[in-house]
Chains A and B, each alone.
Chain A
Amino acid sequence: MRINVKLIANYQSLLPAGTIGNTIELEAPAGISVLQVLTPFGVPLDDTSVIVLNGLTVDLNTPVSEGDTVAAFSAIAGG
């Protein structure tokens, strides 16, 4: 299935070299979890990151479905 991975601001550098913008589409096996999607990118999987599925707060073991977007950004004060 096709899913999207969006790595925001300084996490963009974790996307493959040459990626334009902050989002890539990739092929992933059915049943893959949010955690498993992000692991290969080297996104810190602790409380220094905010991770959302389709913009929603979820458990990191939640399975990802076709067309979903997993997004992550560094947890740091701002605004």
Chain B
Amino acid sequence: MNGWHGRLLRINLTTQTTSIETIDPQVCRDFIGGRGVAMWYISKEVDPQVDPLSPDNKLVFAAGPLTATPAPTGNRYMVVTKSPLTGALAHSNSGGEFPTWMKRTGFDLFIFEGRAEGPVYVWVDEDRVEVRAAAHVWGKDTHETTDILKAETSDEARVACIGPAGENLALMAAIMNDKHRAAARSGVGAVMGSKNLKAVVAMGNKNPDLHDPTAMRDVSVDTSKNVGADVKKGSNMRIYGTSYVPQVTNTLGIFPTNNFQQGTFEHTKNIDGDALKNQYLIRHTPCYRCPLSCGRLTEVPDGKYKGKGEGPEYETISSLGSGCGVHDLAALVKANYLCNEYGMDTIGTGMTIAAAMEMYEKGYIPESVIGQPLKFGDHDAMIDMIKKMAHREGFGNDLAMGSYRLCEKYGHPEIAVTTRKQEFPGYDPRGSQGMGLLYATSNKGASHMEGDVAYEEVFGVPVKENPLSTDGKAELVKHFEDAFALIDSSGLCVFVAIRYVFSKDRLIFPQRLSEMMNFTTGAGYTPEEIMKAAERVYNIERLFVLKAGSTEDTLPYRMLHEPLPDGPAKGKVVELDKMLPEFYQLRGWDEKGWPTKEKLEELGLTM
């Protein structure tokens, strides 16, 4: 096969045995790769009702057909599993270098099943696979673990691992790769921890074969040139990475502040891209083969927040910054480093602390329970809470359950800003209605990465939509959800894909991406066929989520009943009722949100 290796590596951690299997080419074609093919295996092999932290859950690492090809940003992988945070589906994306190294082992997928008796790591050097003891790195942070495991395997290898948060089954635990990159959301790191799997180390020389290498090179060079032209003009993504976004969302009044109690933050300029660039930026850092290079190496050179690492990104600034009312940039940068070192999703971590802060200020959780005051803006208390969450110490044990369970435990579920028990990212949907519909319906719970319509509502890419209007948002959300399923399955990064390989015209939306897929795989997709495959991926995921019992597409109390008190979107709530029925209709789902028989037949999902 071309593009796809058509091979998977199965690792049974209980028996410590491994096997190599071929992947049916028709499954690759129908489910694209990466996220889609991983989901096909999950739905075939994992009971949707399974306890996500039991040995019966499976953890899939999945590279896409464009991963490790010349396609710019073909450097992604997806982690797919049943989520312990949401009880539904997790599919978390990451870039850096590990995903390319993983693909070069000659496998598209690693499937981890069972549970090792004690801590282990898995070392994959092409077909040489070893399950090795990892007691010596258990308890160590992700940076130390990466260094130690590279030293005992190969300096040429790349490492994905969990930190203390994953070991301790914190529900916001991430899987970190290349130290700073995260498959962050939905508690994928806790699933890895539940299997006693500390790390995966990968290396190889098996680049995928390409169907038409010349055409693939030409389309890749041309795409890189387009990115390069924007970089030359002064692209914000190159200058600031995503850290320029606080100024944008604050201007639109959708910058989550104090646990979404407000939509504007008076201290934005203290934690925005300029502040970061002027004070702590060392240089920008790319994922493998990325012409945009939006990552940034930063350093707080001295003082009590001294440290060095990558980021923070926008989502971290909005969760650990404005979300917690924090405007001390050095402390915020340090909090980001700590999350990376402990292996934690910064959104889940920040917004859980934000919910605790609101409950503390309202008197719903007494100081005696927390062990200290926990006011909005108290950056030192925030840092203490991060440490306690990762290690499940004291009140950190409550925080490690995430904001939904925390707020429920203390009798105030209305404080939790979550859907499917997962914390909201950094766009207040009261001022971006399409994002509201997205969060409500998202298979993986609130996530911008499920179909980020903020591209149109906020950033004007590929076209500008009015964020306060509900008109046309049902169609927009469906399009973006399918587009993201396609991008995630292909192995590209959304930042470059949306801007440079999608057209502005939704009817011919993925033309260039279809070309890349065809030059790579020879599958001969038309743009319509590939969008249909993406819709198939979205629907097979939907079925899993519904069968897992996560059947309610709704929003938390605050979004439906508490109008935004400030900013341009003042007075707005999310008008979900105006969008949801049309969305179900466009999706071919019944009035309760279940895919109809006709839709499943159309997609070939009546298995």
Task: Name A residues whose Cβ lies closer than 8 Å to a Cβ of B.
Answer: 6, 8-10, 12-13, 21-22, 47, 49-50, 52, 54-57, 71, 73-79
Closest to B235 in A: A76
* Given A21-B269, A52-B251, A57-B468: A10 and B235 interface contact (C-beta under 8 Å): yes
Mark contacts of B204-236 with chain A using CB atoms, 8 A cut-off: 1 yes-contact digit, 0 otherwise. Answer: 000000000000000000000000001000111
Chain B residues, CB < 8 A from A8: 244, 247-248, 251
Query: Does the CB pair B269–A47 fall under 8 Å?
Result: no
Instruction: Give the residue of A22, A54, A57, A77 whose beta carbon is less than 8 angstroms from that of B464.
Output: A57
CA distance A76 to B240 in the complex (A): 12
* Given A9-B244, A73-B248, A79-B242: A55 and B567 interface contact (C-beta under 8 Å): yes
Chain B residues, CB < 8 A from A55: 251-253, 567-569
Query: Does the CB pair B458–A79 fall under 8 Å?
Result: yes
Chain B residues, CB < 8 A from A74: 235-236
Query: Does the CB pair B230–A78 fall under 8 Å?
Result: no
Task: Name B residues whose Cβ lies closer than 8 Å to a Cβ of A.
Answer: 230, 234-237, 239-240, 242, 244-245, 247-248, 251-253, 269, 273-274, 294, 314-315, 426-427, 448, 452, 454-455, 458-461, 463-464, 466-468, 494-496, 498-499, 567-569
CA distance A37 to B230 in the complex (A): 25
Query: Does the CB pair A6–B459 fall under 8 Å?
Result: no
Query: Does the CB pair B499–A77 fall under 8 Å?
Result: yes
Query: Does the CB pair B459–A75 fall under 8 Å?
Result: yes
Query: Does the CB pair B460–A78 fall under 8 Å?
Result: no
Closest to A48 in B: B460
Q: What 11 new A-B contacts, CB under 8 Å, besides A49-B460, A77-B455? A: A9-B240, A9-B248, A50-B460, A55-B567, A55-B569, A57-B464, A57-B466, A73-B248, A73-B251, A78-B245, A78-B314
Q: Could you list 29 A-B pairs, sorted by A, with CB under 8 Å? A: A8-B248, A9-B239, A9-B247, A10-B236, A12-B274, A50-B464, A52-B251, A55-B251, A55-B252, A55-B569, A56-B468, A56-B568, A73-B251, A74-B235, A75-B461, A75-B464, A76-B499, A77-B237, A77-B459, A77-B496, A77-B499, A78-B242, A78-B245, A78-B294, A78-B314, A78-B459, A79-B314, A79-B448, A79-B452
CA distance A77 to B483 in the complex (A): 15
CA distance A12 to B247 in the complex (A): 12
Closest to B250 in A: A55
CB distance from A13 to the nearest CB of B (A): 8
* Given A78-B459, A79-B448: A9 and B273 interface contact (C-beta under 8 Å): yes
Do most interface residues of chain A lie in helix, strand or loop, or is the interface mixed?
A: mixed
CB distance from A62 to the nearest CB of B (A): 13
Closest to A44 in B: B233
CA distance A13 to B294 in the complex (A): 20
CA distance A3 to B437 in the complex (A): 35
* Given A75-B460, A76-B236: A52 and B247 interface contact (C-beta under 8 Å): no
CA distance A73 to B458 in the complex (A): 10
Closest to A13 in B: B234
Query: Does the CB pair B236–A79 fall under 8 Å?
Result: no
Query: Does the CB pair B234–A73 fall under 8 Å?
Result: no
Query: Does the CB pair B426–A79 fall under 8 Å?
Result: yes
Query: Does the CB pair B239–A10 fall under 8 Å?
Result: yes
Query: Does the CB pair A9–B236 fall under 8 Å?
Result: yes
CB distance from A42 to the nearest CB of B (A): 13
Query: Does the CB pair B427–A79 fall under 8 Å?
Result: yes
State the 4 A-B residue pairs at the shortest beta-carbon distance, nearest first: A55-B568, A75-B460, A9-B244, A50-B460
Chain B residues, CB < 8 A from A10: 234-236, 239, 244
Chain B residues, CB < 8 A from A22: 247, 274
Closest to A22 in B: B247
CA distance A73 to B176 in the complex (A): 32
CA distance A57 to B464 in the complex (A): 9
CA distance A49 to B251 in the complex (A): 15
Query: Does the CB pair B498–A77 fall under 8 Å?
Result: yes
Chain A residues, CB < 8 A from B458: 50, 79
CA distance A52 to B237 in the complex (A): 20
Closest to B240 in A: A9
Closest to B253 in A: A55
CA distance A40 to B239 in the complex (A): 24
CB distance from B268 to the nearest CB of A (A): 10
CA distance A55 to B495 in the complex (A): 24
* Given A56-B468, A56-B568: A78 and B237 interface contact (C-beta under 8 Å): yes
CA distance A41 to B236 in the complex (A): 18
Closest to A53 in B: B568
CA distance A75 to B464 in the complex (A): 9
Closest to B466 in A: A57
Query: Does the CB pair B252–A79 fall under 8 Å?
Result: no
Query: Does the CB pair B239–A77 fall under 8 Å?
Result: no
Query: Does the CB pair A71–B251 fall under 8 Å?
Result: yes
* Given A8-B244, A50-B459: A78 and B236 interface contact (C-beta under 8 Å): yes
CB distance from A10 to the nearest CB of B (A): 4
Chain A residues, CB < 8 A from B498: 77
* Given A9-B244, A79-B448: A57 and B463 interface contact (C-beta under 8 Å): no
CA distance A53 to B448 in the complex (A): 25
CA distance A50 to B234 in the complex (A): 16
Chain A residues, CB < 8 A from B567: 55
Chain B residues, CB < 8 A from A52: 251-252, 568
